[in-house]
Amino acid sequence: MNNWHEIDPMWAWEPFSPPGGKLTREHVAHLHRRTCLGATISQIEMGTQRSVTELVDELIRPLPEANSTDPLAQATLATGNARKLSAWWVYRLLTTDAPCREVMTLFWHGHFATSADKVTNVNLMYRQNELLREYAFEDFGKLVQEISHDSAMLIYLDSVTNRKAHPNENYAREVMELFCLGEGNYTETDIRELARCFTGWEVRREKFRFNRYQHDSGEKTVFGKTGPWTGEQGVDIVLEQAALPRFLVSKLIHYFLADEVDIPEKLIEPLAKQLRDDGLQIGPTLKRLLSSNLFFSKSCVAAKVRSPVTFAIGLLRSLEGTADTIALAEGVGDLGQDLFFPPNVKGWDGGRAWINSSTLLARANLIRRLLDHENTRFAKGSLAELASSLDRRTGTDVINWWEATLLATPLRSDVREQLVSTIENGSGNRDARLRDALHLFCALPEYQLA
């Protein structure tokens, strides 16, 4: 169903019950593509033995207690190089055992977009990234309060220059328009008054500091509420607005279900009510969304364009791959998703904006470089060795494996025959033929969709 206005909201958000009572490989692969950057064939097979609720609960689990400081992160920070920080995150995306939390961290990185082009202190960018990870599925209200005090955000949106005599409106505007409410759900007066609430907020020794001498302690009126509001109180008033849960739910639907659809209010409202009733806890609403009839329906399958991260890192995760993370981070950036360097305060547009004639060629070239790079491994060996370990002996066996793990839609018969022929009759040894076939596979229009 392409017209979302015809979808029954009662049906849409009911828990999905698979025909026959058992999830298929297609169901499990779809869930993992959207939430975990893909899954291996064994993860998909194991997923078919579990219920939707069990799978989603496992994905959206609490953040474990940290046992120790991440030594790779500390070594990266010691370089002072934000490009190395991008490579650190690529490594984490490749190797994490909590991929859904990383995918959600990436969502918040685009939502609360902050760039190392302006915030040149890598410690601050790293700390913000850890903050987004910590609150990935948690209390959105607390996250907004924390991000409002975040040193990288204070620098990026010029809150450090917000003084009583000359209020800077940048953060006040974006906390309403981009972070909480959406365009049209506030007035210019609300912006000016909220900016006064934030006066006196500074960064000293890499940390937030409140300078009471630069704070406007007079009365302000924000969304009709008048008082001598502080910045924190101003944020609380924003968080109370009815537009907030609807705005967030709309973004979550576009991020996890479908890129460029017109979502009717009747579909947004049930989830918005739940989000508000749950005190803006993200996790329960996200579980309902990912367990729903709509998520597993034809309206959502292949309804998203793979982001550069999903395109490249999703391939490697699905095929147990590892790679040179510096080269991979650079390649993903060349495709338009430069981690820690979003293009502007709005983050990445996503959807069809990821795809044009230039980026399609660049995508194919990146896969070729990955496959030819001496540091790229599949299950710590060659692609041919991985195929043999999975008993994928023939070209048809291999293409069936890739189709099951990597594609949201089935291959056309003529394309399948060409890929099988490349494996069976191409030049070079078997590993070279498999790499040639995988390069062709990832250039297909079908692989661009998740």
How does pLDDT run across 258-306, given as a tens digit for each residue?
998 999 999 999 999 999 999 999 999 999 999 999 999 999 999 999 9
- Confirm if 36 and 59 have CB atoms less than 8 A apart: yes
Residues 76 and 209 occupy one common structural domain: yes
Residues 78 and 218 occupy one common structural domain: yes
User: pTM for the whole thing?
Assistant: 0.97
pLDDT tens per residue across span 99-111: 999 999 999 999 9
Residue 1 has pLDDT above 60, yes or no: no
Q: How far is CA 181 from the centre of its chain?
A: 20
Residue 84 confidence class, pLDDT cut points 50, 70, 90:
very high
- Confirm if 297 and 1 have CB atoms less than 8 A apart: yes
Q: Considering the domain boundaries, does residue 401 fall inside one?
A: yes
Residues 323 and 442 occupy one common structural domain: yes
Q: Considering the domain boundaries, does residue 376 fall inside one?
A: yes
Q: Considering the domain boundaries, does residue 166 fall inside one?
A: yes
Helix residue ranges, H only, 60-202: 71-79, 82-95, 99-111, 122-134, 140-149, 151-156, 170-174, 188-197
Q: Considering the domain boundaries, does residue 259 fall inside one?
A: no
pLDDT tens per residue across span 11-50: 999 999 999 999 999 999 999 999 999 999 999 999 999 9
Q: What pLDDT was estimated at residue 62?
A: 86
Q: Percent of the chain, pLDDT > 70?
A: 99
Q: Considering the domain boundaries, does residue 231 fall inside one?
A: yes
Residue 63 has pLDDT above 60, yes or no: yes
Domain end (from 205, 239, 273): 239
Whose tokens are 């995508």? That residue is 363
Residues 91 and 224 occupy one common structural domain: yes
Residues 320 and 428 occupy one common structural domain: yes
Q: Considering the domain boundaries, does residue 110 fall inside one?
A: yes
CA quadruple 28, 366, 322, 90: dihedral sign: negative
Q: What pLDDT was estimated at residue 71?
A: 92
3-class state of residue 85 by DSSP: helix
Task: Give CA–CA dist 87/109, Å, rounded.
Answer: 16
Q: What pLDDT was estimated at residue 3?
A: 87
Domain count, the chain: 2
Q: What pLDDT was estimated at residue 65?
A: 67
Residues 89 and 224 occupy one common structural domain: yes
Residues 128-142, mean pLDDT to the nearest whole number: 97
3-class state of residue 210 by DSSP: strand
Residues 190 and 313 occupy one common structural domain: no
3-class state of residue 72 by DSSP: helix
| Closest to 176 (Cα-Cα) out of 229, 247, 274, 230 | 247
- Confirm if 37 and 314 have CB atoms less than 8 A apart: yes
Domain end (from 185, 219, 239): 239
Residue 442 confidence class, pLDDT cut points 50, 70, 90:
very high
Q: What pLDDT was estimated at residue 64?
A: 75
Residues 214 and 113 occupy one common structural domain: yes
Question: Using a CB cutoff of 8 Å and minimum separation of 24, what contacts does 263-270 make?
Answer: 263/4, 264/4, 264/5, 264/7, 266/9, 267/4, 267/7, 267/9, 267/12, 267/294, 269/9, 270/9, 270/12, 270/13
Q: What pLDDT was estimated at residue 169?
A: 97
Residues 358-372, mean pLDDT to the nearest whole number: 95
Task: Give CA–CA dist 308/332, Å, rounded.
Answer: 5
Residues 189 and 325 occupy one common structural domain: no
Residues 198-209, mean pLDDT to the nearest whole number: 96
Q: Considering the domain boundaries, does residue 393 fall inside one?
A: yes
Work out the mean pLDDT of the chain and round it to a whole number.
96
Domain end (from 239, 254, 286): 239
- Confirm if 235 and 148 have CB atoms less than 8 A apart: yes
Task: Give CA–CA dist 307/174, Å, rounded.
Answer: 24
Cα 278–Cα 235–Cα 238 angle in degrees, nearest 5:
65
Residues 125 and 224 occupy one common structural domain: yes
Task: Give CA–CA dist 29/46, Å, rounded.
Answer: 11
Tokens of 239: 């968080």
Residues 217 and 94 occupy one common structural domain: yes
Residues 316-333, mean pLDDT to the nearest whole number: 98
Q: Considering the domain boundaries, does residue 48 fall inside one?
A: no
Residues 223 and 372 occupy one common structural domain: no
Tokens of 406: 């990597």
Q: What pLDDT was estimated at residue 367?
A: 98
Residue 200 confidence class, pLDDT cut points 50, 70, 90:
very high
DSSP 212-248: GGG---S-EEETTEEE---HHHHHHHHHT-THHHHHH
Task: Give CA–CA dist 194/441, Å, rounded.
Answer: 52
- Residues of the domain holding 347: 308-448
